[in-house]
Structures are given as structure tokens and as C-alpha cells.
Amino acid sequence: MATLRSAKSALRKEIKKTLASLSADEKKKQSKVVTDKVLASPWFEESKRLSLFLNMPDEVDTFPLLKAAISAGKECFIPHYKGSQMTMVKLSSMEDYERLPVTKWNIKQPADDDIRPDAIETGGLDVIFMPGLAFTRQGARLGRGKGYYDNYLHKCQRAGVLPRTVALIFYQQLVDVVPVEENDVLVQEVLNASPQEMGS
């Protein structure tokens, strides 16, 4: 177990260093390719309820997807982190999004006293877009170490509402091996721009 933890820690460090070296322009270009792939997919077209992570600077920009989903009339949910728990709460509109306060991680989420029901309680989710630091093509995922998404997916399983899981990543986050533990949930689909698509 200790060996596994140290392997995860080393990989986190390595990927964070790689991501820190990406230029804003490179991230913007890759984010656009990933966004276009999502918007062109049949499962996005068919989905009615989806959850999107609001990205940090070293993650794929999800804002264009949020706008597209809301304007397409889909129900959009975002993470609400509170202590060791994460719920997925509904955004009623882009105005609702704009009004949200910013956390210490520099991402928006409802204030702690802004109580909203979790998506699981109101019918579940069709799709969860997954953040993370490193992924294999087979769906093994290395998160940031808090277990928020793995725990949430286990909660979905227990409630009998299993969403499609899709990772949105830069191609620099694709690796051959991710050390996984028993609690780690595999992602069904990993979407990224390829070096060929980026012309490099």
C-alpha cells in the first residue's frame, strides 16, 4: 500500500510539472479540440443531465461546454466540495454560474449555506465529466488524492444510477500505467486532442 501511494505521489508530481510547462495557447487549442469531440458525440446529444467540473488552470477548459449544454436545454450539475464530501448540484442558468463565489482553489461553487439537492436525489446523471491528473487509454485514473470522484461514483452505484464517465484531458496527461487501488473507479472514455491534431 505504501509503495502504491508513493508511486501515485511521484506520478502526480511528474504530471503537474508537465502541465505547468504548457502555454496558455497550447491549453486553449487542445481544449477546443476536446470540446468539439464532446459536442459531436451521440451520447452528448442524447444526454439530458450531466455534470461538469469547473476547471483549474492546469485542466481542459470546460466553460464552452457548460455554455453549450445550458443553451441546449440540458440540466447541468457542478461539484460542491464540503469537507471530505462532494455532491453534484444543479446550475439553473449562466446567470446562476456568474453569481457563484470563488473558492480557495480559484474555482466557483455554491456557498456552504447555499443548500442544493444532490443530483442522485433528483434522478441521477447521464454523464459525469471527470477531471484528473493522469489517465491510461484503458481508463485508469490518477486524481488529486482526495477520492472525491471515486467516492461519488460508488454512491451512484449504490443508488443504482450509473452515469457514463468521460475524462477530458490534454494529451500530455495520457500515460501507459496508472497505479490503482481497490477503491479506484475506471473511466469509460478518455477524450483528448492528439499530437497529430495539434500539428506537433
Annotation: binding site for ATP:
8-12, 141-149
- For residue 128, give the 3-state DSSP assignment: strand
Instruction: Tell me if 129 sits within 8 A of 31, measured CB to CB.
Output: no
- Residues in the annotated binding site: 8-12, 54, 59, 141-149
Spatial separation of the C-alpha atoms in residues 7 and 11, rounded to whole Å: 6
Dihedral (CA of 72, 53, 121, 135) sign: positive
Residues 98-116, buried b or exposed e (16+ Cβ, 10 A)?
eebeeeeeebebbeeeeeb
Spatial separation of the C-alpha atoms in residues 126 and 188, rounded to whole Å: 13
24-40 vs 63-71: helix crossing angle, rounded to 10: 30
Instruction: Tell me if 131 sits within 8 A of 169, measured CB to CB.
Output: no
- Residues in the annotated binding site for substrate: 54, 59
C-alpha cell at 77: 450539475
Instruction: Tell me if 105 sits within 8 A of 145, measured CB to CB.
Output: no
